[in-house]
Amino acid sequence: GQQVMQIPQYQHVQEGEDFTTYCNSSTTLSNIQWYKQRPGGHPVFLIQLVKSGEVKKQKRLTFQFGEAKKNSSLHITATQTTDVGTYFCAGPIYNQGGKLIFGQGTELSVKP
């Protein structure tokens, strides 16, 4: 079945270092969404990418959607302790309403 893989599973960085998580789908996606879940919290929607090759920025966060619409990445520049959490990518299952398949997530820890 359709799968969304995310790497790495864990990333530990020193505050100020950059961080990147990668998301790969086994099938072409109509869009990709990114969510952040703080420890003890719930997933919070960050962004949605729809177009092939799309790049969007939110302050220190840069999101990319691959040309083939099968992969995506989230890059954080100069991490801060507030960036701590698990970042999930999610893609819709074709022709199944709003059903999303989530990657396993990348857990980011930031050492001050």
Partner 1 sequence: DSGVTQTPKHLITATGQRVTLRCSPRSGDLSVYWYQQSLDQGLQFLIQYYNGEERAKGNILERFSAQQFPDLHSELNLSSLELGDSALYFCASSGGQGLYEQYFGPGTRLTVT
Residue 85 is a binding residue for partner 1 (CB under 8 A): no
Do 73 and 49 contact (CB within 8 A), yes or no? no
* Inter-CA distances, 51 with 7, 69, 108, Å: 22, 8, 27
Q: Is 42 in the site for partner 1 (CB under 8 A)?
A: yes
Rounded-to-integer distance, Cα 49 and Cα 47, Å: 7
* Whether 20 contacts 74, CB under 8 Å: yes
Least Cβ distance, residue 16 to partner 1 (angstroms): 29
Contact mark string toward partner 1, 1..30, x via CB under 8 A: -----------------------------x
Rule CB under 8 A: choose which of 2, 73, 102, 109 binds partner 1: 102
Q: Which residues bind partner 1 (CB under 8 A)?
A: 30-31, 33, 35, 41-45, 48, 88, 92-93, 96-105
